Chains A and B, each alone.
Chain A
Amino acid sequence: MTGPATSALGSLKADYLALVRRRRMYSGLITVLFVSVLAAGFSVADARNAGGFWQGLPKIFDFPAELISEAIDKSADLPANLLLYLPALIETVNIAAVSTLVGALLAIVLSLLSTRGLARWPRLIPFFRRAMDVARAVPEIVIALVLIFVMGGGPVPALIAITFHSAGALGKLFSEVNENADLKPVEGLASVGASWLQRMWLGVIPQVAPNYISYALLRFEINVRASAILGFVGAGGIGAELRVAISWGTGRYDAAAAIFILLFLTIVAIDQLSSYYRNRLVGAH
């Protein structure tokens, strides 16, 4: 360093303080932006609403209250109802499980092919990324409706629709996990002459497996709900039953309550399973 040290230090301080002021200004701007987007979004939603948000607000609990009071009145039937809808629940969970498994396998391949530093063909990264974008962009209910129109109702259209969407959604999450993977083991395996598949299988998968599993189980949860919703449009399972049970006026609210309890218990079971297996996988290291 040349020149008087004190003035160099002074300009260093001035530069850094300017940097701090700039950063504070940016965070202030972002806060303003955040609040205004929130306000604008809400007012648009309120304006487009068929009824009025503020008029409807006091009545928001009418339907749940009616549902719960009827369910409590007929609470004696609850065990019978739970048993009655169990087969439909199993069908729904089945759809979700198969589509999560197949979707996750597709997602692993897609994510490895679209992660910088890991990809087999780096030039094709944008192609695989766009493929996943498409899979995420098309709502699963649209795919399911088209397939139901072509192939008729049943679980298979729901299965295909959810698998397609899961592959895209999990592929993106997995690829973010891959980006944080340590490349040193991969380099080590390359140095002993391992093929791409061997490098991925032995160098990357052991690192990312716990995160893969927890994301896949989260997706399983989402897919249980998705496959229940697809039941509304003719894909069978517990959604079809729920649609009949929950119609306002003609519905059987005790049955609806039983279905909600079944769905809730399923989600709790998946959650417990997910944390148990994740801890075991992480603990094994």
Chain B
Amino acid sequence: MLHIRDVTRRFGRNTAVDRVALEIPSGQMVGIIGRSGAGKSTLLRMINRLVDPSEGSILFDGREVSALRGAALRSWHRDCAMIFQQFNLVPRLDVVSNVLHGTLNRRSTVATMLNLFPTADINQAIDILDRLGIADHAPKRVEALSGGQQQRVAIARALMQDPRIILADEPIASLDPMNAQVVMDTLRRIHDEDGRMIVCNLHTLDTARRYCDRVIGMRDGRVVFDGSPQDLTTRAARDIYGAGEKFSEASTSTSIETLEPLFNPAPVREPAFAN
């Protein structure tokens, strides 16, 4: 159970997250939606403690994780894996090495620098890659992989941590629709098979509706919607995004099924350039 108690984060004069209070039971898959700058990323980063809250506290299973320091904090980072929009892998290292980085918290620094990872860990890393369908790429450098493959390497690194929570910050925002679906299917499968809690920032409503058990909407740093995907009507979405009547979900959708022509073909015009 993750308790977020009236957490606030300020950057200078800006308040990115404003007195957010949430309770997320173990094993839930939660989608957080909202427009850019609504505080979604900052909230996720505070849960992982990449950013510290200005006020309020965050508890996990009764332990105050917002007060941890030093080794205890690093061990919390391990329990609370993070997946980034830009993957945040080491591009010049091979896929398996990147996945093995998930074990850094329990390895000594010297062993890491000498690249001495135990054979059992290497086998486990390749097993995880196989589970995500990218074991063939194991010896390749990460920079040689496509965006969707890199994001699955990042998920493999997260799984290698054996985390209690997986946080995903816009995991599909840099991917094409096909890869986006593969990555979201992967996250959902991990949730269903392992029963891990997943909190996911999303840009697109249909993704949140299709994959999440619960949707949280944020606007200007506050939670303005918290309910099941069925409750997320077009009216509720307009509230979250602060949009007018013109707001249409289909125009922002990235899912393949909803693709249909939205506009009539433009009429032929006179050329505007000098001949």
Contacts and interface: CB of A to CB of B under 8 A. Distances in A.
Contacts of A13: 122-123, 126
B139 A9 contact: no
Contact of B138 (A16, A24, A27): A16
Contacts of B138: 12, 16
Interface residues of B, number: 15
A83 interface: no
A20 B122 contact: yes
Most buried by B among A15, A20, A23: A20
B136 interface: yes
Given A9-B130, A9-B135, A16 B115 contact: no
A16 B139 contact: yes
Contacts, number: 30
Contacts of B119: 17
B96 interface: yes
B114 interface: yes
B142 to A, nearest CB: 15
Contacts of A20: 115, 117, 122
A193 to B, nearest CB: 15
Interface in A1-38: 1, 9, 12-13, 15-17, 19-20, 23-24, 27
9 contacts: A1-B136, A12-B126, A12-B138, A16-B122, A16-B138, A19-B139, A20-B122, A23-B115, A27-B115
Interface of A: 1, 9, 12-13, 15-17, 19-20, 23-24, 27
Q: Which 10 A-B pairs have the closest CB atoms?
A: A13-B126, A16-B138, A9-B130, A13-B123, A16-B139, A12-B135, A19-B139, A16-B96, A12-B138, A9-B135
Interface of B: 96, 114-117, 119, 122-123, 126-127, 130, 135-136, 138-139
